[in-house]
C-alpha cells in the first residue's frame, strides 16, 4: 500500500537531509495517499479555545477581524524579525488591509524557503538571513503557510509548490503548535492546499 512519507519529521526537521529532487513516480495511489494524509492531519488540528484571530483564519476570506486595523504592509527598510513581521502581515491580512508589498514579502520569503528549506529568525532589508544556522519558530512557519495559502490563485504553480513543501514541514511539527491561532493557521492552510490540488486533480483521467 502506498503511503505519503514527505512529512516524515525525522527527515524534515532533525537533520534537514530531505530533498525533493528526482522523487520516484508511485502511481495514482500516491495522490490518494497524499489526500488522505493531509485530510487526517487537518482534522487532527482541533481548536478548543475561542480566539477571534483563530476564527477569522478559519473563516477566511469571508470572515475578518473587527476593530482598529493595522497599516497596510510596506517593504522593510531595515533588519527585521521574521516572527514579528509575519504576525504583522497576518493582522493586516485578517483586517483586509493588504498591499502589493505584502505579496512581495511573502513571495521573497517563499523563495528563501525554497532555497534554504528553512525560514530564518531574522533578515536584513534586502532579505539576507542574519543567521544561516538557526530556524524561525515553528509558529512563524504556520503563519507563513496561511499567508501563502491566501495568496495562491488557481494555476499559480510556483506558490502552490512552496505551500506544499511548507505544509509538509508543518504537518511533521503539528504537535508543537499549541495556540489556537497557529493551529487554525495550519488547518486553514491545509484546507486551501487540498482545494487547490483537488482542482488540478479534476483534470486527471
Q: How far is the CB of 165 from other proteins (least distance, A)?
A: 6
| Stretch of 30-38, 54-62, 95-103, 118-126 lying at the interface with other proteins (CB under 8 A) | 30-38
Q: How far is the CB of 2 from other proteins (least distance, A)?
A: 11
Name every residue whose Cβ is closer than 8 Å to that of residue 73 and which is 6 or more positions away in sequence.
88, 89, 92, 98, 99, 101, 102, 105
Residue 185 CB-half CA count within 13 A: 30
Q: Does 82 bind other proteins (CB under 8 A)?
A: no
Q: How far is the CB of 110 from other proteins (least distance, A)?
A: 9
CA–CA separation, 20 and 49 (whole Å): 37
The grid cell for 77 is: 527598510
CA–CA separation, 57 and 179 (whole Å): 13
Write each residue from 157 to 186 as x if it is in contact with other proteins (CB under 8 A), else as -, in one continuous string: xx-xxx-xx--x------------------
Q: Does 195 bind other proteins (CB under 8 A)?
A: no
For other proteins, how many residues bind (rule: CB under 8 A)?
30
Q: How far is the CB of 180 from other proteins (least distance, A)?
A: 28
User: Is the CB of residue 180 less than 8 Å from the CB of residue 161?
Assistant: no
Site for other proteins in 123-162 (CB under 8 A): 155, 157-158, 160-162
Amino acid at each position: 500500500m502506498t503511503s505519503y512519507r514527505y512529512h516524515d519529521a525525522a527527515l524534515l526537521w532533525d537533520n534537514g537531509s530531505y530533498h525533493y529532487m528526482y522523487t520516484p513516480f508511485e502511481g495514482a495511489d500516491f495522490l490518494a495517499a497524499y489526500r488522505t494524509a493531509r485530510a487526517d492531519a487537518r482534522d487532527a488540528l482541533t481548536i478548543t479555545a475561542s480566539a477571534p484571530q483563530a476564527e477569522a483564519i478559519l473563516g477566511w476570506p469571508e470572515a475578518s477581524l473587527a476593530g482598529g486595523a493595522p497599516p497596510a504592509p510596506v517593504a522593510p527598510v531595515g533588519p527585521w524579525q521574521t516572527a514579528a513581521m509575519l504576525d504583522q502581515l497576518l493582522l493586516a491580512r485578517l483586517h483586509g488591509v493588504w498591499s502589493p508589498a505584502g505579496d512581495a514579502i511573502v513571495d521573497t520569503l517563499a523563495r528563501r524557503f525554497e532555497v534554504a528549506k528553512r525560514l530564518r529568525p531574522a533578515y536584513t532589508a534586502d532579505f539576507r538571513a542574519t543567521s544561516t544556522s538557526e530556524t524561525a519558530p515553528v509558529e512563524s512557519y504556520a503563519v507563513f503557510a496561511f499567508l501563502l495559502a491566501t495568496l495562491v490563485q488557481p494555476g499559480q504553480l510556483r506558490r502552490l509548490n512552496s505551500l506544499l513543501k511548507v505544509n509538509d514541514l508543518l504537518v511533521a511539527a503539528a504537535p508543537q503548535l499549541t495556540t489556537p491561532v497557529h493551529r487554525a493557521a495550519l488547518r486553514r492552510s491545509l484546507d486551501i492546499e487540498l482545494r487547490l490540488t483537488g482542482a488540478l486533480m479534476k483534470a486527471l483521467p
